[in-house]
Amino acid sequence: MNKKTIEKFFAGDTLTASRLMSVVEKGGADAEDVLNTLFPKMGRAYRIGVTGLTGAGKSTLVNQLTRLYRTRDLTVGVVAEDPTSPFSGGAILGDRVRMLDSHGDAGVFIRSIASRGNETGLSQKASELADILDAFGRDVIFLETIGVGQLEYKIRYSAQTTVVVLTPDAGDDVQSLKSGLMEIGEIFAVNKADRPVADRFADDLRSMLDLRSTGDGWEPPVVCTVATTGEGIDDLAKAIDQHQSYLDTNGLLEKKRIDALTNRVTIIAEEKLREIFWENGYIKERLKSTLDDVLSGTISPYQAADKLVTPFKHDMDNAEGDAR
Ligand SMILES: Nc1nc2c(ncn2[C@@H]2O[C@H](COP(=O)(O)OP(=O)(O)O)[C@@H](O)[C@H]2O)c(=O)[nH]1
Ligand SMILES: [Mg+2]
């Protein structure tokens, strides 16, 4: 990264920040360089994960919360995953439009990433874009992610507080909700509470959460919201404040930081290992010959895979021996 870019970034130039985020989004060596250079300045922002199914009202809620945080004079960054439209392959326009509310306010920086089908990679990208906003000096960063299955589990590692957004959809009861979402929620927003069944849904959710034991002793509150009108937003913000001070007074912020960084290093190391493996000439060569053996029925896929990884395992065993 050149010195001038770094200077401009730290002087608060949004165009430079935006450019660096594009570099990070693309990935590769340049992205690594940016993330390495900015790393010492990361870790100051408070990150709030907002997750839930598409259409639950996450963007609308984030918009309302952003407005509220701005009245507290906090600067805000938003990283939002856009669901990919099956027709255009791009981000659905509506999502961006709804977020336009805060445009023109230099204290709000919104960045959306279109999901490209690579969902595990996406959460990491979202975290890395949040890292940039963190280094850029934003006080609060919202990470809006689409919670599906296992994937949102990873989000927990990059946010201090995770808000799960649910809707009281007709015919849906709490039990049928994806368990993954239930596990990661530190605060539950029952949005679209203008629907008649919302109160019952919230009660069901509360009694279900009562049965759940949380590892860190925090009892996740359930807050009813109507994101379109702003009803319940104050309560939601209050719940976030309470969670933040809970983490703070119980020394859990540091624990989250350790978990997050451990998770990050692990993921990156695995990625690098995979890359090194498949770029290796010997492996490329060996893959062909072992595949021939599998195709002819001489060895099984497991045996073939063993043949590929054995030399690496030897090297690692040696390294382990040397370390002792
Ligand atoms: N009736 C009602 N509609 C809402 C509410 N919150 C969001 N919506 C609408 O639900 C749709 C999806 O909202 P959006 O924020 O884009 O959801 P996301 O996909 O989770 O980000 C939009 O048409 C919103 O206007 C709410 O509390 N009540
Ligand atoms: Mg959205």
pLDDT digits (tens, 9 = 90+) for 231-251: 999 999 999 999 999 999 999
Q: Give me ligand 2 centre to Cα 63, in Å.
A: 10
pLDDT at 260: 87
Pocket-forming residues, ligand 1, beta carbon under 6 Å: 52, 54-60, 95, 98, 191-192, 194, 226-228
Assigned fold of 42-250? Rossmann fold (3.40.50)
Check whether 207 has a pLDDT greater than 80: yes
Burial (CB < 10 A; 0-12, 13-18, 19+), residue 286, is middle
Q: Which residues surround ligand 2, an ion (CB under 5 A)?
A: 58-59, 95
- 121-155 pLDDT, tens digit per residue, is 567 888 899 999 999 999 999 999 876 555 445 55
Is 304 within 8 Å of 293 (Cβ atoms)?
Answer: yes
Please give the pLDDT value at position 100.
46
Q: What is the pLDDT of residue 170?
A: 54
Q: Nearest 5°: CA angle at 264, between 313 and 183?
A: 110
Q: Count the Cβ atoms, other than its own, within 10 Å of residue 221.
A: 19
- Give, to the nearest 10 degrees, the angle between helix 233-249 and helix 58-71: 70
Task: Answer yes or no: is pLDDT of 87 > 50.
Answer: no
Ranges of each domain in the chain: 1-39, 42-250, 280-323
What per-residue confidence (pLDDT) applies to 123? 73
Give the pLDDT confidence score for residue 181 in this predicted structure: 75
First to last CA, the chain: 38
Q: Are 161 and 242 in contact (CB under 8 A)?
A: no
314 CB-contact burial (10 Å; exposed 0-12 / middle 13-18 / buried 19+) = exposed
Q: How far apart are CA 299 and CA 305, in angstroms?
A: 10
**pTM for this one?**
0.88
Q: Compare 90 and 199 and report the one with higher pLDDT.
A: 199
The token pair that represents 176 in the structure block: 């049928």
DSSP strand pairing (222-224 vs 161-166) = unpaired
Q: How confident is the model at residue 179 (pLDDT cuts 50, 70, 90)?
A: low
**C-alpha of residue 192 to centroid of ligand 1, in Å:** 7
Amino acid, res. 105 = D
Beta-bridge partner residues of 76: 108, 140
Share of the chain above pLDDT 70, in %: 83
Q: For the chain, where are the E strands, in sequence order?
A: 46-52, 76-82, 108-114, 140-146, 161-166, 187-190, 222-224
Q: How far is the CA of 38 from the centre of ligand 1 (A)?
A: 35
* pLDDT at 94 (0 to 100): 44
Q: Which atom of ligand 1 is nearest to the CA of 63?
A: 15
Dmax (CA) for the chain in angstroms is: 70
DSSP 192: -
Express each pLDDT in 281-294 by its tens digit: 989 999 999 999 99
CA distance 208 to 167: 16
What pLDDT, on a 0 to 100 scale, did the predictor assign at position 169? 76
Cα-to-centroid distance, 59 and ligand 2 (Å)? 4
Asked if residue 93 has pLDDT above 70, the reply is: no
What is the pLDDT of the chain when averaged over all its residues?
Answer: 85
Beta partners for residue 108, in sequence order: 76
Percent of the chain whose pLDDT exceeds 90: 60
* Burial state string for 163-202 with b = 16 or more CB within 10 A and e = fewer than 16: bbbbbbeeeeebeebeebbbebbbbbbbbbbeeebbeebb
Place of tokens 């912020």: 253
pLDDT tens-digit series, residues 9-68: 999 999 999 999 999 999 999 999 999 999 999 999 999 999 888 888 999 999 999 999
- pLDDT at position 22 is 94
Q: How confident is the model at residue 86, as a pLDDT?
A: 41
The pLDDT, as a whole number, for residue 98 is 45
Question: Residue 306: its pLDDT value, please?
Answer: 94
pLDDT tier for residue 177 given thresholds of 50, 70 and 90: low
- Can you tell me the distance from the alpha carbon of 53 to that of 16, in angstroms, rounded to the nearest whole number? 32
Q: Which helix (H) or strand (E) holds 161?
A: strand 161-166
